[in-house]
Every structure is written in C-alpha cells, then in structure tokens.
Structure 1
Amino acid sequence: MVSERARAKLNRIAAKMPRPPKKKVRSLAQLRADWKKSAIDTCKVAVDIIESLLERACAAADAIRARVAAVVDVALAAVDVAAVVFVMNGGGRFHRRHLHAEARRHLALVLRGRRRDPGLDERIVNAALDTHCLDISEPKTTRGLLSDYRLYTARWSLSDLAPARRPPTAVPDPEKQPPAGPGAPALPRPPDQEPGEW
C-alpha cells in the first residue's frame, strides 16, 4: 500500500523525467511497405501470397457481399430511425441531425460496408419527418426557423403503446387489518367483550 505522500513524490519524479522522443511520422505507403517486409521476413508463407494479400482480401469481401443481398427499404428504415431517436432522446424531442445520424447508422448496419446511393440517408430522414414526426418548434429567433434548428417529436406517444401487463392486485380482506402504528388511535372494542378478553 503506497501512502499519499509517497504517491505525490513519485508523481513529482515522473513529471521531471524526460519523455522518450516521439517516433518519426511515416506515411501510409511507408507503413504498408514496412509491414510487408516484416511479414515476408517473419512468416513462412510464399512471397507472392503476401504481396497479393490485399487483392485476395478484396476478392473475398466481394464474394461475401455478393452472397448477402443488401436491400434498403426506405419506409421501414424511416420507422426504425424515428423510433430509435424518439426513445433515445430525453422527453422524445429531437432535431433533424439526430435522425440523420441514426439513418447513417441504420445504413451502415444494413449495407454491411457497401457504398450507399448518394442521398439515401437524406431520403430516409425526409420520409421519417413526413410520416412519423411532428414539428413542435416554437422559434423565438430567425435562426430557429431554419430546418436544422426545428424541434420534432414522434407522431405517436407513449400512451399509444400497448400498456404493459400488470399482475392482478389482491383485494384487501376487510377482516384482516394491518397492525396499528404507535401513534394511531385505538380500534374500537367489540361491545360483547371485556377489556381483558382482547
């Protein structure tokens, strides 16, 4: 267990020690050449395999993408994006940028690294705004009139969602009464009993 005093002294010593010199910055092409040379020197694989590794990886990725069809349904994506943003933002209020970020995340998940059509995320955001969102802005400045500063919420509310099933509550038995607290008034005595009997 190191005391606070010893820890403070070690921190002062460490602060005074010279740091090792930073490595020289190298370009990506230099790094790739060094990695390739290191792989050739250390691996027991044919040199042509290492040199064609990038092409092999690209060919494998193309084969995998060809087997997995990526279809983007704009209407379904709009529902998904609006629902996620509604739930993730406090009070169910959000801006257009939140929808945009979620649309890009949705596309990255669905397309699995493929290039997306230009403007596809914008189409999803517009579909979400038109179909599932309600503008609740009350702009007080001219900047608040711009589309990026508008405030939205979902057209559905939490009360529209199906209520969660609750376990049935037990009906209180009028014969069984909870014990009275120390400051509670005494219960009335039944008329046919004497004080010592109860």
Structure 2
Amino acid sequence: MDLDPRPLYARATDQVAALMARVKPEALGDPTPCDGFDVRGLLAHLVGGVRAAAELGRTGADVTLEAAEDVPDDGWLQAYDEARALFGEVWADDAKLDAPVSVPWGELPGRAYLSSGCVLEAVGHAWDLSAALGHPLPLDQELAEYALEWARRVLPAERRGAPVPFGPVRPAPEGADAYVRLAAWLGREV
C-alpha cells in the first residue's frame, strides 16, 4: 500500500463536505452512530481532525486533535473547506509522504499516517454522518474498501477498549456493503 493517499483523502473529504452541505441547523443535536457525538459534535471533530492533520504535516510532531468549537452553526462547511485547503497546502510536498511523523500510536511515514489516520477517519465518519442524515447520498464504496483494509490492519479485533477509542467489532449483515462492514469493524451498531 505504497500509493499516494492524498487523492483518496481528497475524495473522502469531498464526500464529507457533500454530506455537511446537507446538514440543517435543526439536525445539529441529532444522534450519530459514533458514541459520544451528536451531529454538531461530529462536525466539530471532523473540522478539528483536518486542522490537526494539517498541523502534523507542518511540524511532523504529535498534535492533539481538538474539536473545533469556534464554528457557528451555519459555518461548518466553510470551516471544513478552509481546513481542507490548509491540509492540501501543507501536504503538497511529495517528500512528506516518506518523512516520519509522530502520532499517538507511534512513528510512521507520512503516507501511512494519511491512510491509517486521515483517510480512515474521513471515510468512517462519512458513514456516521450519512447515517445520522438518513443516508441522503450514495457513498464511494472504493474508499470504504480501502479504509476497511487499513482498519483491519491498524485496529485488529483484539485491540479494543482504552486507550483505543473503538468498541468491539460488531457483526455486519450478510451481503453488507463496504461502508456497513467498515462501520461494524469500527464498533458501530449497524
């Protein structure tokens, strides 16, 4: 898996942005399948995650993901797009793909972080947001297959619970699409 994950991340965040564009203010307090997050909390986590990934790309050192609490209810998509633009600028240098970065789960090359941290995060939470909104758009199954492959590698079933913020792997229905299988692997009730 030595490919450049940046185009996949762009597709994943485009998908999240398309879902964000469908969030109505009255839905911000609605629950999501991701424990501990209502829609507003999930949006804050997504914006904060892209900001943290940009900062990590800038410094190479571990940064704390902090939920974005500075965004007005009608500004989530704009804040996400601004964070994505900054991420794109910071990670544009191809040399960053092979440069080591330090994250809570260890030191790894930038490309592995982008795949296991960024793409996986955006794709997994795209399903959460989509489910909270009633699945208004078709989701990119190829992205989910890619994210599921990484999830199985970096989040094995036996490595759950504190400090890993994922519940036990759940069963996915027979014939489930890649997103449902990913959500179940990440511990979501599907």
TM-score, normalised relative to structure 1: 0.19
> What's the TM-score, normalizing by structure 2?
0.20
Higher relative contact order (CA 8 A, sep 6+): 2
The structure with more radius of gyration? 1
